[in-house]
Amino acid sequence: MNVRNDVPPSEQRREASAWQGGMRPRYPESHVEHAHVDLALNAWLGRLTANISPAALAVAWQDWAAHLMLSPAKQMELGIQAAGDWAEWWRYCAGAMLGNAGEAVHPLAQDKRFDDPAWHAWPWNGVSQGFLLAQKWWHRATSGVRGVSPHHSDVVTFVARQLLDGMAPSNFMASNPVAQGVTLARGGENLLHGSLRALADLRRGLAGTGAPVAYRPGRDVAVTPGTVVMKNRLVELIRYAPRTAQVHAAPLLVVPAWIMKYYILDLSPHNSLVRYLVERGHTVYMISWKNPDAEDRDLSLEDYRGLGVMAALDTIAAQTGARKINVCGYCLGGTLLAIAAATMAREGDTRLASLTLLAAQVDFTEPGELSLFIDDSQVAFLEAVMWQQGYLDTRQMAGAFQLLRSNDLVWSRRLRHYLLDIPDKDNDLASWNADATRMPCRMHSEYLHTLFLKNRLASMRYIVEGRPVALTDIHVPVFAVGAMTDHVAPWRSVYKIIPLSDTEVTFLLTSGGHNAGVVSPPGMPKRSYQVSLHPQDGPYQGPDAWQAAAALHEGSWWPAWEAWLARQAGALVAPPAPTAGPAAPGDYVLQA
C-alpha cells in the first residue's frame, strides 16, 4: 500500500489493517475483527435482496412517507387526482364498450408494451388505460414531495416504477391479448416451449452460469490479427498487425473498461473500431484486463493505473521508439486514463499526444440512473458482499443494469421467451454483453468512494502517490464522445470535461446509447452526430445551448474522430518492427 503524505500515520495504520480483508475501513483498528460479524451478516442478507441494501430503501421510503404526512396540500392534490383519474377511466371504458373510447393516455415513447393492435380493442384498451393511469398517479405521488432529498425521491420513484412494471397486464396470460392469441393459434405449444426455456434459465441461475455465448472471442469476434506483446498480473497488451504500407508516427493506446471485456471495440470485422483504425494507418495497442478472482481482492485503482496504463505506455514507447502516443479510453477506462494523464502532466511526463474519452465521466455529481444504487448505505452493503467473496461478480453487476431498463431487459424479455416463444436473436453485441467480468473488492470500493461518493477527481482531491492530481494540468488536445441515450454515462455528464480541463476540447454527441452509440461503423442506418471544437480560452457554453447550436451530421461519427486522430498522429512512416508473442486475443479475454 502506498504511503500517503496527506494522511496521518495513525489513519494509515487503520486503513492498512482494514484492507487486509479487502474491505473499506469503517471501524477502529481494535474493532476490525468484531466488524467481520457485521460484514458476514450483511453479505448473507445480500443473497436474499439481490445485493440491494434494505437499510437504504427503508431510509428513502421513510423520508418520502414522513414528508408526505407533513404535506396535507400534496395529499389533497393526490386525492383529487386519484378521483379524477378514476372518473376518467370509467368514461374511457364506457366509450370503449360503445366503440368510441375517446382520448387515451399514451405511454412513454420507449414503452412498447401496448403497441400491438390487440391492445386497442375492448376490453384490453380499458385494461391498459387503467394501468397507465395508475402508473401516472404513482409518479406524481412519489415525486415533488416538499422536503424529500432528491436522491431519496429518485429511489422511491424508481422502486415504485419497478413494482408497477412487475404488475403490468402485459406480463400475465390472463390480461395479455397478444399472448392469448398466440396460444390459441399454436394450441399451447408456445407455453410448453416457454416453460422449458424458463426451466433452463432457472437451472442456469441456480448453478451460477450464464446462457451459452454464440460469438466467441478469437473465433467470431476479437479476430483482428495481432500479438500479445506484454503481460503482467493485471493486463495483456495487444498490438495489432499493420494493414497499410505506412502508418502514422504516433501509435494509439486504447484503454477499455474493466467491467466488461475489451472486444466491444473489436467485435465482428464489419463493426470493429480496431480494424477500422488499423486499415487507416494507425498502430493500435489494446489493453485486455484480467478477469479478477478472490486472489486479486487487494488490487487497487492505483494498480490499475500502474500495471495497466503506465505499463502499457512504457511498453509501447520501448517497442516503437515513438516520442508521442495517442491514448483513448472507453467508459471506466476513460476515467482511469484521465487520472493517468493528469498524473503524467503533474510529473512532467510529455509522452501523450492527445486524449480521447469515449462515454467516460470525470465528474460524478450527475452520474445518471446508476446513482440510484450508490449511496453510503448501499456501498457499505456492497462492501460486505465483496469482503466475503473478494470481488463483485458478473450477476451482481448485471442485476443493476437490468433494473435500469427492466421493461426491455426483464419483463419484455420474459414475455417474449416464456409466453410468446420468441427466442433472443444472436448477435455479437448481445454475446459481448453476456460476457461480463468481475471487479476486485478493493478497487471497486475505492472507485465508489473516491469518485462516485466524494467526486475527488473533479474537485482536485484525488490522491496519486501522496499528492492530488488536477485535470487542469492536462494540456494535450482532448476529443470527448457522449451518447444521446446513454444511461451509464449521461452525455451532459461527459460534457463536463470542457469546464474541468484547460485545453482545447472537441466534443461529439452521437445517437444511440452507451454501447450501440460507440459501436457505430459507417453504413449503419439511423446514425447521426453533432460535433464542435471548444478552444482552450473560449467562453463556456452549457450542454443544452451547445446541442441547440451544433450542426447535425448524418452517419457514423468514426470518420470524424479518425480525421481528428490522424492530425494528432503525425506523418506516415514505415510500420514498427514486429514483436514476437502469443496471437491475439490472448488468454485474459477467455477467462470466465
The string of pLDDT tens digits covering residues 135-161 is: 999 999 999 999 999 999 999 999 999
CB 587 within 8 A of CB 579: no
Going by pLDDT thresholds of 50, 70 and 90, the confidence category of residue 396 is low
- Mean pLDDT on 493-515: 96
What cell was used for 114? 401496448
CB 302 within 8 A of CB 464: yes
Can you give the pLDDT at residue 22?
Answer: 40
State pLDDT tens for residues 4-45: 344 443 343 344 334 433 444 443 344 455 567 888 888 878
Tell me which amino acid residue 125 is.
N
What cell was used for 132? 397507465
Can you give the pLDDT at residue 26?
Answer: 44
What cell was used for 145? 414531495
What cell was used for 4? 500517503
Using DSSP, state whether 376 is helix, strand or coil. helix
Distance between CA 560 and CA 563 in Å, rounded? 5
- Mean pLDDT on 88-107: 85
How is residue 121 annotated by DSSP? S
Tell me which amino acid residue 457 is.
L
Can you give the pLDDT at residue 34?
Answer: 57
Domains of the chain in start order, with CATH, are 62-167 (no CATH), 227-365+455-573 (3.40.50.1820)
- Choose, from 93, 328, 331, 441, the residue flagged as catalytic: 331
Percent of the chain with pLDDT over 70: 90
DSSP string, 3-67: --TTS-HHHHHHHHHHHTTTPPP-S-GGGHHHHHHHHHHHHHHHHHTTT--HHHHHHHHHHHHHH
49-53, 96-100, 188-192, 456-460: segment of lowest average pLDDT:
49-53
Going by pLDDT thresholds of 50, 70 and 90, the confidence category of residue 217 is very high
What cell was used for 108? 412513454
How is residue 107 annotated by DSSP? P
Element (H, E) at 560: helix 558-568
CB 386 within 8 A of CB 441: yes
What cell was used for 280? 487507416
Number of residues written out for the chain: 592
* Average pLDDT score over the chain: 89
- Mean pLDDT on 412-423: 86
Can you give the pLDDT at residue 402?
Answer: 60
* Cα–Cα nearest to 217, from 286, 283, 278: 286
Distance between CA 260 and CA 220 in Å, rounded? 17
3-state SS, 208-259, equals CCCCCCCCCECCCECCCCEEEEEECCCEEEEEECCCCCCEECCCEEEECCCC
- Residue 133 confidence (pLDDT) above 50: yes
Strand pairing category for 235-240 and 226-231: antiparallel
3-state SS, 253-293, equals EEECCCCECHHHHCCCHHHCHHHHHHCCCCCEEEEEECCCC
- Mean pLDDT on 325-347: 98
User: Distance between terminal CA atoms of the chain?
Assistant: 29
Going by pLDDT thresholds of 50, 70 and 90, the confidence category of residue 403 is low
Strand pairing category for 252-255 and 284-289: parallel
CA angle in degrees (0–180, nearest 5) for 116-118-121: 130
In sequence order, the 6+-apart residues with CB closer than 8 A to the CB of 353 are 250, 324, 325, 326, 476, 568, 569, 570
294-303, 362-371, 569-578: segment of lowest average pLDDT:
362-371
- Residue 401 confidence (pLDDT) above 90: no
State pLDDT tens for residues 193-216: 999 988 988 887 777 666 667 899
Using DSSP, state whether 578 is helix, strand or coil. coil
Can you give the pLDDT at residue 397?
Answer: 62
- Residue 514 confidence (pLDDT) above 70: yes
- Mean pLDDT on 478-486: 97
CA–CA distance from 321 to each of 33, 88, 240, 309, 313 (Å)? Answer: 51, 74, 17, 17, 11
What cell was used for 372? 440510484
CB 194 within 8 A of CB 135: no
Question: 573 has which bridge partners?
Answer: 247
pTM of the model as a whole: 0.88
Can you give the pLDDT at residue 48?
Answer: 77
Strand pairing category for 247-248 and 572-573: antiparallel
- Residue 86 confidence (pLDDT) above 50: yes
170-179, 237-246, 380-389: segment of lowest average pLDDT:
380-389
CA of residue 271 relative to chain centroid, distance: 20
Can you give the pLDDT at residue 398?
Answer: 60
- Residue 104 confidence (pLDDT) above 80: no
Q: Biggest alpha carbon distance in the chain?
A: 80
In sequence order, the 6+-apart residues with CB closer than 8 A to the CB of 377 are 53, 55, 56, 59
Region for 325 from its dihedrals, namely left if φ exceeds 0, alpha if ψ lies in -120 to 50, beta otherwise = beta
Distance between CA 49 and CA 238 in Å, rounded? 40
Distance between CA 197 and CA 424 in Å, rounded? 11
In sequence order, the 6+-apart residues with CB closer than 8 A to the CB of 526 are 511
125-134, 181-190, 233-242, 433-442: segment of lowest average pLDDT:
433-442
In sequence order, the 6+-apart residues with CB closer than 8 A to the CB of 39 are 21, 23, 383, 384, 387, 388
Can you give the pLDDT at residue 465?
Answer: 95
CB 52 within 8 A of CB 373: yes
Assess whether 331 carries a catalytic annotation: yes
Percent of the chain with pLDDT over 90: 70
In sequence order, the 6+-apart residues with CB closer than 8 A to the CB of 473 are 342, 345, 346, 502
State pLDDT tens for residues 459-481: 999 999 999 999 999 999 999 99
SS3 content of the chain, % helix, strand, coil (to 5): 50, 15, 35
